[in-house]
Amino acid sequence: MRNTVYARLFDRLADLIPSLHSAPAGAVFCAPPRIPDDMAVYCHIADVEGDMRLIELADDNIKSGTVMPAPWLKLRVDLANKLAEVLEMEDAFGYQVIYAGGKAVNPRRPQINLYAMNWLQVMVNFELCFQPADVSVTA
């Protein structure tokens, strides 16, 4: 059983992004809302280097026409070891970086990764799945 938060985070991403192993850098995916006026979640493959991927996730949290604070996550995904980890995050509480120069590690690293894993698990529970978006993205 894969029991670390980093292994489970990878598993949730693999459940939600069918082409995780083959998606090229710049690929964009969308998990559309199941009901009107609910949030859509977007995925951008920001970089691909061998078995490593940088993935950005964000939702379009709009309620009654008003933009609400929405989580944005940047994750490092290691396909060879089947692990994933949050590197950066922005939510209603602000912007947070996990690794800040040298060996400084954000003390909230475990909680941030657990938050991301739970967020993705909710998407899995709602049977959402990322589908390729018909948009080209340039960095």
For residues 22 and 139, what is the distance between their CA atoms, to the nearest angstrom?
19
For residues 104 and 98, what is the distance between their CA atoms, to the nearest angstrom?
8
For 83-113, what is each residue's pLDDT tens digit?
Answer: 999 999 987 778 889 998 877 899 999 999 9
Q: What's residue 137's pLDDT?
A: 46
Q: How confident is the model at residue 139 (pLDDT cuts 50, 70, 90)?
A: very low
Assigned token pair, 16: 């939600």
For 29-75, what is each residue's pLDDT tens digit?
Answer: 999 888 777 778 899 999 999 999 999 999 876 555 655 556 789 99
Cα 117 to Cα 11, 43, 50, 92, 99: the distances in Å are: 9, 15, 24, 18, 19
Q: What's residue 67's pLDDT?
A: 58
Contacts of 117 (CB under 8 A, 6+ apart): 5, 8, 9, 12
